[in-house]
DNA sequence: AGAATCCCCACTGAAACAATCAAGTTTAAG
DNA sequence: CTTAAACTTGATTGTTTCAGTGGGGATTCT
């Protein structure tokens, strides 16, 4: 599994949306783009893609913007990454959803394949069990730690 | 971590070399290439690369060929894959050996990064603990099972 | 010498990646 | 009812990576 810049931007944007999640408040692309150093035009494309995945919804027009389509605890990182970057498996011949035949003489007898399956399992286990809500919690915690250090300094 | 075709070919070739490992017998590129459906010219390049990594050695000339530079139980998959395909981490900002700064506002406060570190740990734990010898064992086992099925059929 | 093998380095064609551009449509406010 | 600020859609571009090829050179046995 390789997380591309595209996938990373998607996660970063979703964290921002997750942190300010509420019934019907929306965030503008520009706001997210500025806060996260993401090229606006590129982010536009990415959020649109997340929309087609049913992860976010949008409102158009001058008061428009994006918000999560569902509460953060219902979105797993696995879902997001699979949609943006494809397979979680290190090679497609061990992928469940993005399977492709490989060139080895016989997949059933392939030792490499069995190791790669283990790797895939390990990755999937982590990413399917971390939700956007948990990711946001981590962020709050990390930023909280920093804030406390500052408090002491003052 | 993404295993490229290049890395996969390397592992496949090493399994062949591992299975017939002995003090000074060598295998020709052509033999490996034919057995494994790997383009000869490409394999040439790959084995040369593995040589510079100290994984294999070669003998030139008409009786030439390749063999493992060290016994199979001393070579981990992590070593091979890192040399062929680079970082095991899903993003380079969490890689130990291939670290590169990422574009997020503050790495220390990045929640995504902390999840990706977990993924990296999981992958490394597997690949650093599987040696070429163990991989060869798996292959023998898998092929053995097939052989038995055939025996019954006869 | 000659044939078979490894060695080295450059090159190419295709695909993936990271953007960017252009020309819409929708919406609220003035 | 016009306009500006937002999202929408689809194409395009420049760069890098990937997989594979090609040509010529060095080495070693016979």
* pLDDT tens digits, B58-76: 999 999 999 999 999 999 9
- pTM given for the model: 0.93
CA–centroid distance for B139 within its chain:
14
Question: CA–CA separation, A119 vs A137, rounded Å?
Answer: 27
The burial class, CB within 10 Å (0-12 / 13-18 / 19+), for A16 is: buried
Chain A residues whose beta carbon lies within 8 Å of the beta carbon of residue B105: 35-37
List beta partners, residue B58.
B66
Amino acid A65 CA to nucleotide C28 C1' distance, rounded Å: 13
A5-150: CATH architecture: Orthogonal Bundle (1.10)
What is the structure's pLDDT at A154? 47
Query: Higher model confidence: residue A52 or residue B146?
Result: A52
What pLDDT, on the 0 to 100 scale, is given for residue A10?
98
- Mean pLDDT, residues A9-20: 97
Say how many C-beta atoms besides its own lie within 10 A of residue A138's C-beta.
18
pLDDT score at A152? 53
* Confidence bin at B114 (pLDDT 50/70/90): very high
Q: Alpha-carbon distance B18 to B68, whole Å?
A: 7
- What residues of A are in contact with residue B91 (Cβ under 8 Å)? 3, 8
pLDDT higher than threshold 70 for residue B154 = no
DSSP readout, B28-96? -HHHHHHHHT--HHHHHHHHHHHHHTTSEEEE-STT-EEEESS-GGG-BHHHHHHHHH--SSSSGGG-S
CA of A105 to C1' of D24 (A): 33
Note whether B111 contacts A3, CB cutoff 8 Å.
no
Q: How confident is the model at residue A145 (pLDDT cuts 50, 70, 90)?
A: confident
Q: Which residues in chain B touch residue A2, judged by CB atoms under 8 angstroms apart? A: 1-2, 90
d(CA B71, CA B33) in angstroms, rounded, equals: 22
CB-closest option in B103, B112, B122 to A37: B103
* CB contact at 8 A, B66 and B57: yes
Cβ atoms within 10 Å, residue B129: 11
């Amino acid at each position: 599994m390789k997380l591309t810049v595209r996938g990373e931007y998607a996660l970063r944007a979703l964290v921002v949306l997750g942190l300010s999640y509420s019934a019907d408040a929306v965030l503008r692309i520009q706001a997210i783009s500025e806060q996260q150093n993401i090229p606006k035009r590129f982010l536009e494309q990415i959020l649109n893609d997340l929309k087609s995945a049913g992860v976010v919804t949008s409102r158009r027009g001058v008061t428009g913007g994006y918000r999560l389509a569902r509460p953060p605890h219902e979105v797993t990182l696995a879902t997001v990454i699979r949609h943006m970057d494809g397979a979680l498996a290190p090679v497609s011949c061990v992928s469940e959803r993005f399977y492709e035949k490989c060139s080895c003489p016989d997949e059933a007898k392939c030792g490499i394949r069995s190791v790669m399956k283990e790797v895939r399992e390990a990755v999937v286990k982590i990413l399917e069990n971390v939700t956007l809500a948990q990711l946001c919690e981590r962020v709050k915690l990390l930023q909280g730690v920093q804030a406390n250090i500052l408090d002491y300094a003052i």
